[in-house]
Amino acid sequence: MLGGRMMELLRQKIENEGIVLSNQVLKVDAFLNHQIDPVLMHEIGQEFARLFKHDGITKIITIESSGIAPAVMAGLALHVPVVFARKRQSLTLTENLLTASVYSFTKNVESTIAVSNTHLSENDCVLIIDDFLANGEAAKGLATIAKQAKAKVAGFGIVIEKSFQPGRKELVQMGYRVESLARIASLEEGKVTFVREVQS
């Protein structure tokens, strides 16, 4: 499926199955954040792979839990491993950790995300994938972790970007490439309005 058609399918999914909870919060539990549509995730993974196929990606990093499905499908398409950052320490994840502090506006909590340094090194060129880009806290946390490992960051692959929040702008100002498959201009009046783009 070509990129433009895949993005149109994603926009339709958001319009038909997304629920606008407020001017800030879009719930997509029907296909991304609780129930997952594996066929759509497969298409999304292929699209991320197409966008970054010339960038020498050696590893994908994401964050549990909703980033895992699109990241793993992109990893399948690019034939590279996926590492998911953990939001809390696990008893079996005890070696040297790369960590970053991430504030969640949705949950109003500060948490630590962690990746083992065993799985990320200066030889890596990483694609950072996440389900949502809003304030960019998780994205910047993952970039901080990549930086600690001295890995190169090729860019960000985002499924749904809330373009009215500052995440994208801040990442671009930091010099990062950001590829978002659906860009939402507004959630006002209970309605999803997408960023207008030239049709591909």
Catalog residues that contact a second copy under the rule CB under 8 A: 21, 25, 27, 29-31, 33-39, 41-42, 64-65, 68-69, 72-73, 75-76, 79-84, 86, 90-93, 106-107, 115-116, 118-119
For a second copy, which is the closer residue by CB, 118 or 193?
118
**What are the residues facing 130 on neighbouring strands?**
158
* Residue 60, SS3 per DSSP: strand
CA distance 182 to 3: 11
Assess contact for 186 and 193: CB atoms under 8 A: yes
Q: Return the H-helix or E-strand segment holding 185.
A: strand 178-186
Q: How far from chain centre, in Å, is Cα 83?
A: 13
CB of 180 to a second copy, least distance (A): 19
Shortest CB 199 distance to a second copy, Å? 29
In whole angstroms, the minimum distance from the beta carbon of 88 to a second copy comes to 9
At 107 the three-state DSSP class reads: coil
Closer Cβ to a second copy, 83 or 184, answer by number:
83
**Spatial contact of 9 and 40, defined as CB atoms under 8 Å apart:** yes
* Structure token digits, residue 22: 């407020």
Nearer to a second copy, 23 or 35 (CB): 35
Angstrom CA distances, 23 to 13, 18, 86, 173, 194, stand at: 19, 13, 29, 25, 14
Q: In angstroms, what is the C-alpha Rg of the chain?
A: 16
Q: Which is nearer to a second copy, 1 or 174 (CB)?
A: 1
Min CB(119)–a second copy separation in Å: 4
Between 95 and 197, CB nearer to a second copy: 95
- Which residue lies nearer to a second copy by CB, 109 or 172? 109
Helix (H, G, I), strand (E, B) or coil at 101: strand
* Distance in Å, CB of 154 to a second copy, minimum: 17
Nearest-approach distance from CB 55 to a second copy, in angstroms: 17
